[in-house]
Amino acid sequence: MKLLIPFILFFQSETLFARSLKATADKLAQETSRIGLGLALFGICIAGIYFILGRQDASTKMTQALLGIFVLMLGPSILSFIKSLA
Number of Cβ within 10 Å of residue 22's Cβ equals 9
Contact predicate 72/36, CB 8 Å: yes
| pLDDT at residue 2, as a whole number | 62
Residue 25 predicted with pLDDT over 70: yes
Q: Could you give the number of structural domains in the chain? A: 1
Does the CA dihedral 32-66-60-50 come out positive or negative?
negative
More confident residue, 76 or 10: 76
15 in any annotated domain: no
60 in any annotated domain: yes
Q: Please, which pLDDT band fits residue 14 given cuts at 50, 70 and 90?
A: low
| pLDDT at residue 13, as a whole number | 55
Q: What is the pTM of this model?
A: 0.60
50 in any annotated domain: yes
